[in-house]
């Protein structure tokens, strides 16, 4: 149980990779602060985490691109658990469009979810991680070396995240 007693915030934990990370961390003894946009999915993930051994889980439903929500997430986590040891910036969006079909909205949304949210959530959590000697994990992609057709904006956001990391 390598993470026994550690508290991890995991963004984008209502499905996919984030849900898998939450379950894996549960098996290792971590306490969890999970966030995503889908309450029902988050509640299902919590059930799976409890089956895997985690008994202390907080959920916050909201949009990680919103500064007020990020602040609420950090404040509610700190209030419940008293510390933050790990931040997993996992929330992501894979917007696929060609140069011809790309819009400012697609670009803005992709950058907001894949780059800005991790940057500013890390900024908020950093003082707590310094105190606990904690860690940040940023979920990227293996696809930055070869761009699939229509994946330019998505890959740009992940290359920028890699640079931030």
Can you say whether the dihedral through the CA atoms of 69, 42, 56, 9 is positive or negative?
negative
Helical axes 104-111 vs 152-164, angle rounded to 10°: 30
What SS3 state is found at 163?
A: helix
Residues whose CB is less than 8 angstroms from the CB of residue 150 and which lie 6 or more positions away in sequence, other chains included: 96, 97, 98, 101
> Phi/psi at 59 (nearest 5 deg)?
-120, 145
Active-site residue numbers? 154
Q: Tokens for 39?
A: 């309450």
């Amino acid at each position: 149980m390598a993470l026994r007693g550690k508290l991890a915030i995991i963004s984008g934990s209502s499905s996919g990779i984030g849900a898998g990370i939450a379950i894996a961390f549960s098996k290792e003894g971590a306490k969890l602060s999970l966030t995503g946009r889908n309450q029902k999915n988050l509640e299902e993930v919590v059930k799976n985490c409890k089956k895997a051994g985690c008994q202390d889980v907080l959920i916050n439903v909201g949009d990680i691109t919103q500064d007020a929500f990020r602040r609420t997430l950090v404040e509610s986590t700190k209030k419940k658990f008293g510390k933050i040891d790990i931040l997993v910036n996992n929330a992501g969006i894979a917007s696929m469009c060609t140069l011809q079909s790309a819009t400012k909205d697609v670009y803005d949304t992709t950058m907001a979810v894949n780059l800005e949210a991790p940057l500013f959530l890390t900024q908020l959590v950093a003082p707590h991680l310094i105190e606990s000697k904690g860690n940040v994990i940023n979920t990227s992609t293996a696809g930055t070396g070869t761009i699939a057709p229509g994946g330019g904006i998505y890959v740009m956001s992940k290359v920028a995240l890699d640079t931030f990391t």
